[in-house]
Chains A and B, each alone.
Chain A
Amino acid sequence: MAKVTVSPEKFNLVFFDAGEIAELVGSAAARIGVDADITVDVDEASALGRARVTSMDPVTLSVQGGAFEDPKRPRHLAPHNVEDVASRLLFRVRDRLDPSFGDPPPDEELTLQQSTAWDAYCLGRAERLGFHPAKPRRLYHFRNRHGFSDVADAAFERLWSADGLTWADLEAVCAETEAGRQAVG
């Protein structure tokens, strides 16, 4: 099982438990098949919800505190949200470690369209592995980035149910929805 290190070890602004986060992320990594050591950097001062893979060596997940937070109990950890973030990012890690996937740019250079397309592909696989991502929420994200159209909805469904895609496939989806948006605009 992957060794998971959570930073900070002790939280001051929120009521998070580093050990609990490490256990949840480690368990997700084992189910997804990522056996590299993982560092989880949590920005506890931020209630925003952004989470990215910021390094592959060592594997580092940088997470704003809001992404792990329980929206019903501000400043408290929501295990479900930790699993949701971990499964999404660790599928990205698995894709990046797979030479046949291709060579995607670093997370911070992804466009919003690329990022949501990859998320749909990751979370669809996560759902089939037994995680519980909120598909309607992800569809709304996808529509915001790829257009409120039948073309975008069909693309989302394809990504969600797909396995074995490559980075080129994701780019093709982005190009397809971009063409749809241009046609409308």
Chain B
Amino acid sequence: MKRHLRVDDLARDSRFVRLPLEARFNDPRPQGSRSSSGRSGGRRLTPDRPGAPDGARALMHGIFVGEIQALEGAGRTCYDFDTGAGADDVPFQLKLDMARQCWDEARHCEISVKLSEWMGTEIGEFAESTFLFEAACNPDPVLRLTGVNRALEGLAIDVFNAMRDFGDLAGDPVLEFCEDWMLADEVTHVRMGSDWLRRLTEADPERRQRALEFQSIVDKLFSGGGFRGEEEDSPIRLARRFRQLAGFTDAEIDSISEGSRQARREAEAARQRAAAKAAG
């Protein structure tokens, strides 16, 4: 089996359909008319909105495919690198942590399948974005870990927190129960990422800087043009308290917040260009 898979190599059954990143960015419809799922959003996900149940269903499906990709990413980190102390190697303990994460993500997939069924959603009902796995493809183990465990899992904290609140407000006991359990695991994963980033780059500040820059890029991508941020109308709010628990500093959270605002401005500009082009 070869090392370092590409996104296109990810194996799926016939129910799944992949949505290329450019399809999202080339959609000329105004940002406020769509969520990450492309279905309903642009505003905060609260149960009192007419389209909230479908918005929650679409978001839950997005979480489900994200969990599959997180599982695949953690699994590949167990396989793609030699065990050792070299720059391209990873320590044995890191692999053990990634294997543990595999189990956690597999459990999250199971939870997501059951939860989606509860919400009346079929597996593969919505398109799958693969941008999460793209962060898990980096050939540098430190950058990969930073992209997956700090950026991707950090996003998971924000999303699970939002969905847990949604379940609470809607009075959906199953949604709230499941999201709270998954949220607990994600805080552990982010801490794991922060810890390994510090340990692996202790004697190499340049590499640490590169990793943090990579995280910043990934965080901006994951902000989905303002989908995740601290604006009043952001569908997913940055979960400051849980991010602090996971080891993020206030300055780091502020930086993600600013990156989200910037991503939103850029996405809106891109959409306006696409709309102008569509209008001829």
A–B contact at 8 Å CB threshold (below): yes
Say if the beta carbon of B19 comes within 8 Å of chain A. Answer: yes
Bound Cα distance A74, B128 (Å)? 11
Binds B, one of A16-24, A42-50, A93-101, A160-168: A42-50
| A136 at interface by CB-CB < 8 Å | yes
Which of B29-37, B145-153, B213-221, B251-259 faces chain A? B29-37
Q: Are B27 and A141 closer than 8 Å at their CB atoms? A: no
Query: Are A144 and B58 CB-contacts (below 8 A) given A45-B33, A71-B126, A73-B127?
Result: no
Q: Which residues of A sit under 8 angstroms from B58, Cβ to Cβ?
A: 71
> Closest approach, in angstroms, between the C-beta of A76 and any C-beta of chain B?
10
The answer to the question of A13 belonging to the interface, with a C-beta cut-off of 8 Å to chain B, is: yes
Contacting pair B172 A66 (CB below 8 A): no
Establish whether residues A148 and B33, one from each chain, have CB atoms under 8 Å apart when the complex forms: no
* A interface footprint on B236-280 (CB within 8 Å = 1, 0 otherwise): 000000000000000000000000000000000000000100111
The list of the 8 closest CB pairs from A to B, nearest first, reads A136-B120, A137-B120, A47-B34, A140-B120, A72-B17, A46-B33, A74-B38, A71-B126
| A143 nearest CB neighbor, chain B only | B172
> Which A residues are within 8 Å of any B CB, using their own CB?
12-14, 44-50, 64-66, 69, 71-75, 112, 115, 134-141, 143-144, 147-148, 181, 184
Within the assembled complex, what's the spacing in Å between the Cα atoms of A112 and B52?
Answer: 11
Q: Tell me the bound Cα distance from A50 to B53 in angstroms.
A: 12
Give every chain A residue within 8 A of B120 (Cβ-Cβ).
134-141
Contact with A along B107-135 (1 / 0, CB 8 A): 00000000001111110111100000000
- Would A45 and B29 count as touching, CB distance under 8 A? yes
Report how far A143 CA is from B56 CA in the complex, Å: 13
A147 touches B171 (CB 8 A): yes
Contact call B127/A71, Cβ cutoff below 8 A: yes
User: Which positions in B face A, CB cutoff 8 Å?
Assistant: 17, 19, 23-24, 27-30, 33-34, 37-41, 47-48, 50-54, 57-58, 117-122, 124-127, 170-174, 275, 278-280
How far is A173 from B244 in the complex, measured between Cα atoms in Å?
Answer: 46
- In the complex, are the beta carbons of A47 and B29 less than 8 A apart? yes
Pairwise interchain contact B171-A49, C-beta atoms closer than 8 A: no
Bound complex: CA A28 to CA B87 (Å): 64
A147 to B172, CA, bound (A): 8
Interface centre among A48, A50, A64, by most B CB within 10 Å?
A48
Residues of A within 8 A of B50 (CB): 50, 112, 115
List chain A residues, Cβ under 8 A from B51: 48-50
Question: Are B40 and A48 touching (Cβ within 8 A)?
Answer: yes
User: Residues of A contacting B172 with CB < 8 Å?
Assistant: 143-144, 148
Residues of B within 8 A of A144 (CB): 47, 52-53, 170, 172
**From residue A64, how far is it (CB to closest CB) to chain B in Å?**
8
Contact status of A65 and B29, CB under 8 A, knowing A47-B38, A71-B39, A137-B121: yes
CB distance from B17 to the nearest CB of A (A): 4
User: Do the beta carbons of A13 and B28 come within 8 Å of each other?
Assistant: yes
How far, in whole Å, are A38 and B271 apart by their CA atoms in the complex?
33
Kindly state the separation between the CA atoms of A50 and B58 in the bound complex, as whole angstroms.
15
Q: Which residues of B contact A137 (CB under 8 A)?
A: 54, 57, 119-121
Which residues of chain B come closer than 8 Å to A14, judged between CB atoms? Answer: 29
Q: Is the CB of B279 within 8 A of A12?
A: yes
- Using A74-B23, A137-B57 as known contacts, say yes or no to A49 and B40 having CB atoms under 8 A apart: yes
* Chain B residues whose CB sits within 8 angstroms of the CB of A147 once the complex forms: 171
CB distance from A170 to the nearest CB of B (A): 18
Contact of A47 among B39, B122, B124, B174 (CB under 8 A): B39
In the complex, which residues of chain B have a beta carbon less than 8 angstroms from the beta carbon of A143?
172
Residues of A near B38 (CB, < 8 A) are: 47, 66, 69, 71, 74
In-complex Cβ contact of A72 among B24, B126, B280 (8 A): B126
A140 touches B27 (CB 8 A): no
Partner of B33, one of A48, A115, A138, A139: A48
* CB nearest neighbor in B for A149: B171
Instruction: Kindly provide the distance from the CB of B193 to the nearest chain A CB, expressed in whole angstroms.
Output: 31
Some 5 contacts from A to B, beta carbons below 8 A apart, are A45-B30, A47-B39, A72-B17, A75-B29, A143-B172
